[in-house]
């Protein structure tokens, strides 16, 4: 998760993610609302945990689009 902050620079408010400036707005309230919305969207887009059978590796066993190699014919 990123750390968001709002910094006032002149007459504008700058929304920052970590050390990166990502957005400038005129209203502090609007900046705060945008940060809240971004955090909620990122939380809703969180990736599901990996399957316990294969930790660290994505599973292709259940993928119907994966076709196994045909057996070799001698």
- Residue ranges per domain, the chain? 4-44
- For 28-60, the pLDDT digits (tens) are 999 999 889 888 888 888 766 655 555 556 555
Give the integer Cα–Cα distance in Å for 67 and 60: 10
Whether the CB-CB separation of 4 and 11 falls below 8 Å is answered with no
In this predicted structure, the answer to whether residue 15 has a pLDDT above a threshold of 70 is yes
Confidence of residue 3 (pLDDT cuts 50, 70, 90): confident
pTM above 0.95, yes or no: no
In this predicted structure, the answer to whether residue 68 has a pLDDT above a threshold of 80 is no
Whether the CB-CB separation of 2 and 17 falls below 8 Å is answered with yes
């Amino acid at each position: 998760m990123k750390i968001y902050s709002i910094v006032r620079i002149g007459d504008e408010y700058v929304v920052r993610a970590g050390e990166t400036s990502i957005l400038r707005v005129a209203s502090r309230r609007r900046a705060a609302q945008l940060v809240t919305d971004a955090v909620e969207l990122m939380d809703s887009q969180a990736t599901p945990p990996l399957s316990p059978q294969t930790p660290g590796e994505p599973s292709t066993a259940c993928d119907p689009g994966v076709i196994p190699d045909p057996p070799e014919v001698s």
